[in-house]
Amino acid sequence: MAWKWLHRWLGLVAGTLALVLGITGTALSLDPLRNAWQTAPAAPGLSVATLAQQVQAQVPGLEEIRRLPSGMVVAFAFDGDQPQAWRIDPATGAPLGAYQPSMLPRWVKNLHRSWLAGDAGRIGSAVLALAMLGLSVTGLTLLLRRMGGWRQLAGTVRGTLAQRLHVLTGRVLLLVLALTSITALWLSATTFGLVPLDAGAEPDIASTASGGPDLAPGQLPLLQRLRVQDLRKLNLPAADDPQDAWQVSTSTGQGWVDRYGGQTLAWQAATPAQRVQDWALLLHTGDGAWAWALVLGATGLSIVLFWTTGLLLWWQARRLVPRIASNSPPAQADALVFVASEGGSTWAFAQALHAALVQAGRRVHSTGLEHFCVPPGVHHVFVLAATYGDGQPPAHAARALERIARTPAGAAQVAVLGFGDRQFPAYCAFADALAQALHARGWPELLPPERIHQQSPQEFARWGDALAQALGHGLALDYRPSLPPMSELTLLSRQDFAGGADGADAAGDPAVILRLGLPRAGRRLPRFAAGNLLAIVAPGTAVPRYYSLASGTVDGFAELCVRRRAGGLCSTFLHGLQPGDSVQAFVRPNPGFALAGGKTPVLLIGAGTGVAPLAGFIRGNARRRPMHLFYGTRARERDFFFGQELQDWQADGRLHSLHTAFSRTPGGGGHVQDALQRHAAQVGALLARGAHVRVCGSRAMARGVAQVLEALLAPLGLSLAQLKEHGRYAEDLF
């Protein structure tokens, strides 16, 4: 909990200020690129003596030669009264053009390191660097926790777009950010003199007049030994000071040379601190390593991305934080609701439960799971727990399990409801652990533990019905998710499927493929892809129903395949639509299910209306990735959705192979898992080639499919759990 809290607040406070550092840092990273572009590199082994001799011959009034970290050689001279700075071609010593230290205005650098506020600003920047280091360390800790340790660090990242961007960028640039912060702190320390760089006082030197003229630089032994690639700076002796000497600085130290005799007067080796300084400068500025400067530039911009997505995540979580109406004090309550929620969405369910219990005349206290404590007067305890990442508890409830394990059981009956996402291998693992701990402690059970997939209102309502029965009194669960803004979609066309003559089972109900036009005016629909969900809110209802999309934004329409459910408000409403009618809808991502790009084969397995998102994948397969569809339905003439399209797609190469199974047709091939079994060799080969698998349809079908796949994976030394973990296997079930 502390990590997350620290990360959040460091990010919100320091991160906001660090935006300035990030943006200016990116701008500053352009200079090393320009320097690299402008620089003619010196030949390896070229001596300082040779260079100085050539430059002196071509630059009148030469006073100083510098080799910048980028390798650029610059000559400073006085032409009469006019100070000059030239870029030099080290091969010839000839001036190439005037030297400009930076192409940016000076305030950019000063803003970056001192906020244009002198030493106070420098301290501010140093504090920010420390905060960025803190953000990196807490970020890494949270990243490891989310991914499930170092070994899983490279695994697939799941979650909303903001979460994935935040995590993916962090995984790539976190270490660079930490390094940048550390080097910034070092540079601050040397600027404030906390780390001395110099090798003590400079020696007292003077050239000894011999009566002869100055030696030419080419004749000086020290300069002959030193190479240009190590050079920092060479100062020529001043013309008006006969005692002045040559002074040369290199990466290894600095020396002085007598202007008449040519002997080395003194040599001071560079201190270890100076060498660290050189590295810190290289790593922090990228000057002298343009590829690294590119990385640094991207890292600077990443701060903007981190900040934006971080703020979004915080805001999303905050928006969902509850305000519980009529929350009784714990001592007076007869029912307790404990909540463990990462993003805050579980609280919305707790609120509904709380309100329903209050309405039924109960005195209810709702609070975070970390406060687990059951006073004697309590009859019922409800635990609503989300699972975070790889089976982790939500941050605020990190210690809840231990707390429960320490608490002796009371007489109150307990019900545990887990919230999670079936795409994750550790689906509702934390809720399961809680249920086990409570059971092991000996708490009586009110209801067996139940799981809710992707915040499904339907599953929650079902649980509510079971709860009402167990409690023996009515319970009006009114769960209202906070809905995003909606768009108005108009029906373009519909394609009807009659369903079965034997209407006894649900699969026999009529179905329809609806093609909805995207809104041209009003609120546009955000970008969506096949496999995302379209949420439809039927008139007179508050709870949206989700349908898998069989098309993407690029197709220019939203297509759904809907079977009419007896008593289903939304499906009945959709079935009554005629072209020209409109619906209120919004798009919800279906993280983990959408197909990522790639060239590996794709194995699509679907039954009934579950073929819709799979058809969408095939429709969008412009790059002709090898896609194989196993498709089970009742009968070719009754509900063979997308039958014509599938033929067309197979003809134009978007669909590689199609295997069908018609369960109600004699000799039709049974169910889709039977078709898989029949083509076990082909399926096994696809899995061995790293195929990605997407399954959509009913839960019963998915169980059958999983059995077949598991059996085919075993000889390959693989399992479905492993495939899930690597994002190769995902289900969309209803």
Q: Which CB atom, from 110 or from 458, has the smaller least distance to other proteins? A: 110
Q: Report d(CA 681, CA 677) in Å as an integer.
A: 9
* Residue pair 569/502 in contact by the 8 Å Cβ criterion: no
Q: Report d(CA 525, CA 587) in Å as an integer.
A: 7
Q: Which CB atom, from 287 or from 555, has the smaller least distance to other proteins? A: 287
Minimal distance, residue 178 CB to other proteins, in Å: 25
Minimal distance, residue 81 CB to other proteins, in Å: 8
3-class DSSP state of 246: strand
Query: Which residues of the shown chain bind other proteins in the complex (CB under 8 A)?
Result: 63-64, 76, 78, 81, 83, 85, 101-102, 106, 110, 118-119, 190-193, 196-198, 201-202, 204-205, 235, 238, 240-241, 243, 247
Angle, CA of 349, 355 and 357, to the nearest 5°: 105
* Residue pair 142/134 in contact by the 8 Å Cβ criterion: no
Minimal distance, residue 256 CB to other proteins, in Å: 9
Minimal distance, residue 248 CB to other proteins, in Å: 13
Q: Which CB atom, from 204 or from 652, has the smaller least distance to other proteins? A: 204
Q: Which CB atom, from 68 or from 604, has the smaller least distance to other proteins? A: 68
* Residue pair 178/112 in contact by the 8 Å Cβ criterion: no
Q: Report d(CA 107, CA 128) in Å as an integer.
A: 19
Minimal distance, residue 83 CB to other proteins, in Å: 5
E strands along 572-624, which residues? 582-588, 602-607
* Residue pair 608/700 in contact by the 8 Å Cβ criterion: no
Q: Report d(CA 388, CA 182) in Å as an integer.
A: 31
**366 CB-near residues (< 8 Å, 6+ apart):** 322, 324, 327, 336, 337, 338, 339, 350, 351, 354
Which DSSP state fits 252? T
3-class DSSP state of 500: coil
Q: Which CB atom, from 196 or from 690, has the smaller least distance to other proteins? A: 196
- φ, ψ of residue 232 in degrees (nearest 5): -105, -55
Minimal distance, residue 188 CB to other proteins, in Å: 11
* Residue pair 661/632 in contact by the 8 Å Cβ criterion: yes
Q: Which CB atom, from 198 or from 648, has the smaller least distance to other proteins? A: 198
The terminus-to-terminus CA distance of the chain in angstroms comes to: 34
Minimal distance, residue 586 CB to other proteins, in Å: 54
Minimal distance, residue 300 CB to other proteins, in Å: 21
Minimal distance, residue 128 CB to other proteins, in Å: 20
Q: Which CB atom, from 199 or from 470, has the smaller least distance to other proteins? A: 199
For 148-191, where are the alpha helices, taking DSSP H only?
A: 161-191
Q: Which CB atom, from 197 or from 320, has the smaller least distance to other proteins? A: 197
Q: Token pair of 419, please?
A: 């919230």
Minimal distance, residue 40 CB to other proteins, in Å: 21
The separation between CA 314 and the C-alpha centre of its own chain, rounded to angstroms, equals 14
Q: Which CB atom, from 118 or from 579, has the smaller least distance to other proteins? A: 118
Q: Report d(CA 705, CA 634) in Å as an integer.
A: 17
Q: Which CB atom, from 235 or from 302, has the smaller least distance to other proteins? A: 235
